Amino acid sequence: MSSDRPLILVTNDDGISAKGIRSLASAMEPFGEIVVIAPDSAQSGMGHAITINHPLRLESSYLFGENVAYACSGTPVDCVKLGIYEVLHKKPDLVVSGINHGANTSTNVLYSGTMSAAVEGAMEGIPSIGFSLCSFDSNADFGVSKQVVNTVVREVLSKGLPKEICLNVNIPDIAMDDFKGVKVCRQAHAFWEDRFDKRFDQFGKPYYWLTGDFYDQDKSENTDLYWIERGYASIVPTQFDMTAYKAMKELENWNL
Amino acid sequence: MSSDRPLILVTNDDGISAKGIRSLASAMEPFGEIVVIAPDSAQSGMGHAITINHPLRLESSYLFGENVAYACSGTPVDCVKLGIYEVLHKKPDLVVSGINHGANTSTNVLYSGTMSAAVEGAMEGIPSIGFSLCSFDSNADFGVSKQVVNTVVREVLSKGLPKEICLNVNIPDIAMDDFKGVKVCRQAHAFWEDRFDKRFDQFGKPYYWLTGDFYDQDKSENTDLYWIERGYASIVPTQFDMTAYKAMKELENWNL
């Protein structure tokens, strides 16, 4: 690898063979040297999980041509850690994660392996971005996504990111002609209404599939859901400090 | 179950047979009706992971005597969801998670299954608390912890919690005589220095164990690590809105 171009770690949570990470890797090639380290299978919904109770495997992958690529048996966060400490042996200049097949708007940031990889990058002090397309289609069209990736990565590489912050970028599933632009905004306070699909196995014992519907209970403006619905890509600057500073005052009156 | 006492969902990430959840359940009994739904095996480091690619199992457990208890094949967050939607069929008055064998101070809140269960409770609009003892000993002494649980739960049940906030409570591993009290504070910005222990299997192929050391790079006062070190239990009010509001302004100058 040449040393003057940015070194870019590419990961995702849909697994190394997903169309989304192929689109992301190809969009990143003009920006620097890319190294792909991605889960060997789908890791959607893994959040910030790390693998500590069993060992991890890394297998070289041919899927990205000349570029160095590894499939990892662990989670997206494991991929970032292994990438830094066992593959690159140094911190890359940028971590990009995605392009996720499905939105990671609103509170989905907490469940999202794609975004947790970016958050892990931020915890390592590396500028990091998670990209998600609002379509679960495994053969989705990543045309608009590539344009958004290009714009956002260009700005991040030239201006850097605020300390301890990564970006959560969501892209609407629309045609290029309908795409309106990019908006910086906040995470909507919207939630899943969970349900379980209860079934019975061949022994008559129950098992459960998690399902449900996502509702935008947050009707305010300038949220990620607000802009996505209006044809914009959303960028939510995302932090790993989960302290509710405003609530600290209220608790100071407690009888502790 | 009588209907006038608070209904309390008890979970953890160390698994249903851990000493910590037994201590928590017994500390909760004076406060209301308890229902235990906890992972059937250790789920440490699972963060906010949910199980969506394979089905979940629930098995009745005798470990909590007269109290309703279930072991779940999934993650701590799965336990909260199954608890609400398949066991209780309504929202409990309180979710408590722990007592974790090991600290969940600082950025460990992101990796912690214990805390993710509490965060999930907050996303459901339920007052929720994660408790962690700063000792990994599976036979740890939960004496100080029980006193802290008692104090914090009493206050939460009488005063409620701010909207969309849960509590991250960490308890120092010290004798009762050395225990100083409880402090409301913020999450320290401290991080793991990761390492991988690389070994080779019987075929000569490598595998990796995640390990490392945790350092308190954040030397400021009024963090959870600051108070734990001084003999106090820490309470960090914790939110699931990860938007970096201060960073939004900076990004508004970008050429997007």
pLDDT tens digits, residue range A48-97? 999 999 999 999 999 999 999 999 999 999 999 999 999 999 999 999 99
Between B48, B84, B184, which is nearest A47 by CB? Answer: B48
Mean pLDDT of A211-219: 91
Q: Does A247 touch chain B (CB under 8 A)?
A: yes
Q: Is A198 touching B (CB cutoff 8 A)?
A: yes
Give mean pLDDT, residues A181-204: 96
Q: What is the mean pLDDT of residues A161-175?
A: 97
Q: Looking up tokens 């014992």, which residue turns up?
A: A205
Give A198's pLDDT tier (boundaries 50, 70, 90): very high
Assess B204–A contact: CB distance below 8 Å, yes or no. no
Instruction: Kindly list the residues from chain B whose CB atom is less than 8 angstroms away from the CB atom of residue A55.
Output: 199, 207-209
Predicted complex ipTM: 0.95
- Per the CB < 8 A criterion, the answer to whether B47 and A116 are in contact is yes
CA atoms within 13 A on the CB side of A243: 21
What is the C-alpha to C-alpha distance for residues A74 and A57, in angstroms, rounded to an integer? 8
Nearest Cα to A72, choosing from A64, A62, A61, A63? A61
Residue of B27, B162, B7 whose CA lies nearest to B84: B7
Smallest CA–CA distance, residue A207 to chain B, in Å, is 5
The pTM of this model reads 0.96
Query: How many Cβ pairs closer than 8 A exist between chain A and B?
Result: 234
Average pLDDT over residues A27-37: 97
For residue B140, give the 3-state DSSP assignment. Answer: coil
Question: B252: buried, middle or exposed (CB in 10 Å: 19+, 13-18, 0-12)?
Answer: exposed
- Three-class secondary structure of residue B129 per DSSP: strand
Residue in A with minimal Cα distance to B206: A57
Please, are residues A126 and A91 in contact by the beta-carbon 8 Å criterion? yes
CB contact under 8 A, B47 and A48: yes
CA atoms within 13 A on the CB side of B103: 23
**Amino acid A42: pLDDT:** 94
Q: What is the pLDDT of residue A149?
A: 98
- CA distance linking residue B48 with residue A112, whole number of Å: 8
Closest CB from A109, A151, A184 relative to B248: A184
Predicted pLDDT at A255? 86
A42: its two tokens: 């789908």
Residue ranges of domains in chain A, CATH in brackets? 7-189+221-240 (3.40.1210.10)
Q: Is B65 left (phi over 0), alpha (psi -120 to 50) or beta?
A: left
Peptide bond connecting A174 to the previous residue in cis, omega within 30 degrees of 0 = no
Tokens of B248: 């939004």
pLDDT in single tens digits along all 256 residues of chain B: 456 899 999 999 999 999 999 999 999 999 999 999 999 999 999 999 999 999 999 999 999 999 999 999 999 999 999 999 999 999 999 999 999 999 999 999 999 999 999 999 999 999 999 999 999 999 999 999 999 999 999 999 999 999 999 999 999 999 999 999 999 999 999 999 999 999 999 999 999 999 999 988 898 999 999 999 999 999 999 999 999 999 999 998 888 8
Closest-CA residue in chain A for B46? A49
Helix axes A143-159, A19-28, angle to 10 degrees: 40
**Cβ(B159)–Cβ(B129) under 8 Å?**
no
Query: CB distance from B220 to chain A under 8 Å?
Result: no
Task: Identify the pLDDT of residue A29.
Answer: 96
Query: Residue with structure tokens 């308190």?
Result: B216
Q: Which of B15, B195, B190, B194 is nearest to B105 (CA)?
A: B190
Tokens, residue A246: 């405003």
Sign of the torsion formed by the C-alpha atoms of A108, A111, A112 and A115: positive
CA of B205 to nearest chain A CA: how many angstroms apart? 9
How far apart (Å, rounded) are the C-alpha atoms in residues B34 and B7?
A: 6
DSSP string, B68-84: EEEEESS-HHHHHHHII
Buried b (16+ CB within 10 A) or exposed e, B124-158: bebbbbbbbbbbeeeebbbebbbbbbebbbebbee
Residues B32, A213: Cα–Cα separation, whole Å: 32
What residues contact A202, with CB distance under 8 A and at least 6 apart?
none
Query: Where do runs of H (alpha helix) occur along B7-66?
Result: 19-28
By CA distance, what is A191's nearest residue in B? B123
Q: Which of B13, B252, B53 is nearest to A183 (CA)?
A: B252
Contact at CB, A52 and B210, closer than 8 angstroms:
yes
- Count other Cβ atoms within 10 Å, centred on residue B253: 10
- Length of chain A counted residue by residue: 256
**Which residues neighbour A66 within 8 Å (Cβ) at sequence distance 6 or greater?**
none
Q: What are the pLDDT digits (tens) for A87-143?
A: 999 999 999 999 999 999 999 999 999 999 999 999 999 999 999 999 999 999 999
3-state secondary structure chain A: CCCCCCEEEEECCCCCCCHHHHHHHHHHHHHCEEEEEEECCCCCCCCCCCCCCCCECEEECCCCCCCEEEEECCCHHHHHHHHHHHHHCCCCCEEEEEEEECCCCCCHHHHCHHHHHHHHHHHCCCCEEEEEECCCCCCCCCHHHHHHHHHHHHHHHHHCCCCCEEEEEEECCCCHHHCCEEEECECCCCEEEEEEEEEECCCCCEEEEEEEEEECCCCCCCEHHHHHHCCEEEEEEEECCCECHHHHHHHCCCCC
Name the percent of chain A lying above pLDDT 70: 99
Distance, in Å, from the CA atom of A83 to the CA atom of A128, rounded to the nearest integer, reads 14
Q: Between A42, A191, A246, which is nearest B53 by CB?
A: A42
Token code pair at residue A50: 């790390």
Q: Are A47 and B48 in contact (CB under 8 A)?
A: yes
- Test the A interface: residue of B82, B242, B254 with most A CBs within 10 Å: B242
> What confidence category does residue A3 fall into, taking pLDDT thresholds of 50, 70 and 90?
low
Question: What is the chain B residue with the closest CA to A110?
Answer: B48
Facing residue for B242 by CB, picked from A85, A161, A238: A238
User: What pLDDT is stored for residue B236 in this prediction?
Assistant: 98
Chain B (85-124) residues lying within 8 Å, Cβ to Cβ, of chain A: 85-86, 107, 109-111, 116, 119, 123-124
Residue among A110, A210, A241 minimizing CB distance to B48: A110
Report the candidate in A64, A59, A111 with the shortest Cα–Cα distance to residue A82. Answer: A59
Give residue B212's region: left, alpha or beta (phi > 0; psi -120 to 50).
left
